[in-house]
Copies of this chain bind each other. A is one copy, B any other.
Amino acid sequence: MSLKQQMEIMLPAIEAELQKQVARLDDVATRPFHAMLTYHMGWTGEGAGPEARGKRIRPLLVLLTAASCTSPVWLHAAPAASAVELVHNFSLVHDDIQDNSPRRRGRPTVWKKWNMPQAINVGDALFVISNLAIMDLAKNFPPEKVIRAANVLHETCLALTRGQFLDMSYEKRSDLTIEDYWPMIEGKTAALLSACTQIGAILGGADDSTVEEYRIFGRDLGLAFQVQDDILGIWGDEALTGKSAASDLVEGKNSLPVLYGISQKGRFAKRWAASAVRPEEVVEVAQILKDEGAYKFAQREGARLTDRALSALKKSNAQGEAGAALMELANKLLHRES
């Protein structure tokens, strides 16, 4: 089976498990509360549908990893797959409040549609349900394994709060260097992807050294993914044309190319320090940054991390069609154009 065929089987299973988990709040007294969660998950409300759900990459990684290990009963790992996706979505709901973002996946964010106090509680509830979901593994796995998987998830969430702290505290700083970049995205992006592959491998019955290779695969995949995201955020089609407000330069994001540009102390650094970049300047400032070598640098870093990720995946000896699909997914994520 190709990646596409496996996704056709796994994605509905993921969606069903997620709906089952979130249904814990579906009772008479809290029905409007449940509706806030199902809205955010992309199942209900105006604009509901696949576009509003996101790609479910993380739960897919859990299931494909489990399936690529010796024990192929990937469906048993579904509660863990839903747990990581719920953690991801809890962090998005709180992120949108913290960043004051009015829209997410083409729709109003939860705080915008309801209000900030309710949205904090919606994020909290998604987080709580992720904890309950991971414990549901006890139906199919021995308790030691459940505890091991839960600990990986909880440590990952701690890393998420660390990354979030760094991200927010960087906003006011003008002395950032490239060294400040890695710990931030380690927490914000890489930790959760590494949890996906690590938990998938634990549940798939991999031995300790194989779990470790899968963990490294997930982490480096996450780091490479973020670098790619940073490149697209400045030089991608959407950033440069049409919706130029979508440019990371306008948002003032401390992305890898920007931190590289600052380190060069040239025209870009001067422009960046002076004032916020306006939408109509985006094309020009992006070109200055490219001329000073930031594009090449970020491309090189991305390629280095991609190589590291794929080499860890090879060492993990991912098996069968799921193993091939995992390789295909990684390649797709790392070479995307949008």
Contacts and interface: CB of A to CB of B under 8 A. Distances in A.
Interface of A: 24-25, 29-30, 32-33, 94, 97-99, 116-118, 120-121, 123-125, 127-129, 131-132, 135, 138, 142-144, 146-147, 150-151, 154-155, 157-158, 160-162, 164-166, 168-169, 183
A82 to B, nearest CB: 14
B168 A154 contact: no
Nearest to A161: B125
A94 B94 CA distance: 11
Copies of this subunit: 2
Given A128-B154, A144-B143, A146-B147, A162 B33 contact: yes
A98 B162 CA distance: 23
A165 B157 CA distance: 23
Contacts of A162: 25, 29-30, 33
A32 B316 CA distance: 38
B121 A124 contact: no
Contacts of A33: 161-162, 165, 169
A293 to B, nearest CB: 27
A154 B131 contact: yes
A120 B147 contact: no
Nearest to A184: B29
Contacts of A135: 147, 150-151, 154
Nearest to A132: B154
Contacts of A168: 117-118, 121
A70 B123 CA distance: 39
Given A29-B183, A143-B146, A165 B121 contact: yes
A124 B30 CA distance: 22
Given A33-B162, A165-B33, A121 B143 contact: no
A132 B169 CA distance: 25
Given A29-B183, A135-B151, 15 more contacts: A25-B161, A30-B165, A32-B165, A33-B162, A94-B120, A97-B117, A121-B161, A124-B161, A128-B158, A128-B161, A129-B158, A131-B150, A131-B154, A135-B154, A143-B147
Contacts of A150: 131, 135, 150
A158 to B, nearest CB: 5
30 contacts: A25-B161, A30-B162, A32-B169, A33-B161, A94-B120, A94-B121, A97-B117, A98-B116, A98-B120, A118-B165, A118-B168, A121-B161, A121-B164, A121-B165, A123-B124, A124-B127, A124-B157, A125-B158, A128-B160, A131-B131, A132-B155, A135-B147, A135-B150, A135-B154, A138-B147, A143-B144, A143-B146, A143-B147, A146-B147, A147-B147
